[in-house]
Amino acid sequence: MTEYDNIDFEVLGEDAPTANFSFKIIIIGDQNVGKSSITMRGTKNFFKEVYTPTIGFEFLTFNVRIKDQIIKLQIWDTCGQERYRSLISSFYRNSCLAIIVYSIDSQNSFESVDQWIDEIKSQTNPNVKIFLIGNKVDLEKERCVDKNIAEQIAKEHNLDFFMETSAKTGENAQKLFIVAAKILLDEYKRYQNESDRDKSSITLTTENREALENDNEKQRKSKCSC
Ligand code: GDP
Ligand code: MG
């Protein structure tokens, strides 16, 4: 039981009312670990055995209500560009969270995690949140990455969240994006508290900056009127 097991949320459709907050998330990791699959399963509850990657980047949106706030996650996936290793900077720009995926049946994909962490740190704001996800947990018989070791690595690198998932069975797939929305929302709220601003790790997108300015304006007005 963790603090993320009881989040009050509701998944909203594409035509959700205007979001209060919008956050950009990037999904990275070696090819074939299930990045596209976990994104599709987690946001659209859809899985197919053979996923044909297109070249370039694609992003999809996921609207969710957490408590009384509507959050739009803009999730960017790398379609077959992983082999170039260094992804283009526009992919990283303004991202608030990077989800690194490896596959529990692939030691190589796990060994790449360090390099992916370095890449994020060199390409983004050093405060971007980072999750580590071990996918394909349904392939228990073929497991070669120990869960405790992976969790330890996540701790050593000070990552923000670790979990195992399966795009095939759907295990923890939706939870991944709900936790992402919750962590980003909490961080944003911390940012709103001006005294905490320097400690905040949120990268504000233009929309968020506008929302924050509107909130501050409202707060100023309400302070003036009393
Ligand atoms: P990507 O290259 O990281 O985007 O990986 P894909 O999402 O294209 O998945 C690569 C292959 O792994 C596909 O054949 C998927 O069907 C399969 N796959 C993805 N996730 C899972 C999973 O959780 N379990 C199993 N058994 N297969 C998966
Ligand atoms: Mg893919």
Q: Where are the domains of the chain?
A: 9-224
User: What amino acid is encoded at 19 in this protein?
Assistant: A
pTM of the predicted model, to two decimals? 0.88
Ligand nearest to the CA of 168: 1
| Strands 97-103 and 129-135, bridge-based pairing | parallel
Highest mean pLDDT among 20-34, 42-56, 199-213: 20-34
Substitution candidate for ligand 1 out of 45, 49, 51, 101 with most atoms within 8 A of CB: 51
Residue nearest to atom 20 of ligand 1 (CA): 34
Residue nearest to atom 16 of ligand 1 (CA): 49
With a CB cutoff of 8 Å and minimum separation 6, the contacts of 178 are 4, 7, 9, 64, 66
- The protein residues having their C-beta less than 5 angstroms from ligand 2 (an ion) are 35-36, 53
d(CA 177, CA 59): 14
More confident residue, 97 or 16: 97
Residue 48 has pLDDT above 70, yes or no: yes
136: Cβ below 6 Å to ligand 1?
yes
Q: How far is the CA of 95 from the centre of ligand 2 (A)?
A: 18
Which of 106, 76, 79 shows the shortest CA–CA distance to 93? Answer: 76
Backbone angles phi, psi at 181, to 5 degrees: -60, -40
d(CA 164, CA 63): 23
Fold of 9-224: Rossmann fold (3.40.50)
Atom of ligand 1 at shortest range from CA of 167: 23
Read off the pLDDT of residues 120-179 as tens digits, 9 standing for 90 and up: 998 888 779 999 999 999 999 999 999 999 999 999 999 999 999 999 999 999 999 999
